[in-house]
Amino acid sequence: MPHLSPLILSGLIWVVWGVYWVIAARFVQSAKRSESATSRAKHVVPLFVGFTLIFYQRTWFPMHHPLYGDERIAWLGVTLTLAGLLFATWARVHLGKFWSATITLKQGHELIRSGPYRFVRHPIYTGFLIAALGSALAAGTVDAAVGLVIIVAAYVVKVRREEGFLRGEFGEDYQRFQHEVPALLPFVY
């Protein structure tokens, strides 16, 4: 049996999670209002670039230099990938029929403040970012670190756009939520 590297295992975890994510998307409420395709592309294109830098290991690429030689860090990355995607899944399940891959308001949309939403306003993104950090650690290269920075920037921009949607829909209730619960990292942001 060939050696299963931390990066390959991390990628397999993402694939399994992605299959679940696509299947679960079939069981959501219909949309009342969604972001435009152009707005969506502003998020998806940087994610594609970021994940390409993490997972497409090119020895000829100028930024492809190892950051460390300790395989324990790479295996810690696999653990973070799994933990982050499990956290995102918990948030997705808790959000239920109001979930969407795009910035969307659903018919009868409710402001969810329970479950993982007690700790951060965007727990799916938090879990996704923890998983991306884990995958970058599993890769252990400079280009993977750059890819992670691009992914984080894409999500910070997406959070700001989504919060505009949510403030417009929920008004003072959402503003109160913003003051009481951090966006992505408890006690930080």
- Summarize pLDDT for 10-22 with one digit per residue, the tens: 999 999 999 999 9
The pair of three-digit structure tokens given for residue 171, joined into one six-digit string: 């008004």
Among 94-98, 114-118, 169-173, which stretch is predicted with the lowest mean pLDDT?
A: 94-98
State the pTM of this model: 0.90
Q: What's the chain's Rg over C-alpha atoms?
A: 17
Among 17, 151, 150, 5, CA closest to 82: 17
| DSSP, residue by residue, the chain | -----HHHHHHHHHHHHHHHHHHHGGGSPPEEEE--HHHHHHHHHHHHHHHHHHHS--TTSTT--BS---HHHHHHHHHHHHHHHHHHHHHHHHHGGG--SSSEEETT-----SGGGGT-S-HHHHHHHHHHHHHHHHH-BHHHHHHHHHHHHHHHHHHHHHHHHHHHHHHHHHHHHHHHS-SSSTTT-
The pair of three-digit structure tokens given for residue 120, joined into one six-digit string: 């951060």
What is the architecture, at CATH level 2, of domain 6-18+32-180? Answer: Up-down Bundle (1.20)
- Summarize pLDDT for 22-79 with one digit per residue, the tens: 998 887 766 666 777 888 888 899 999 999 999 987 766 666 678 888 899 999 999 9
For residue 105, is pLDDT > 80? no
Interatomic CA distance for residues 154 and 119, integer angstroms:
21
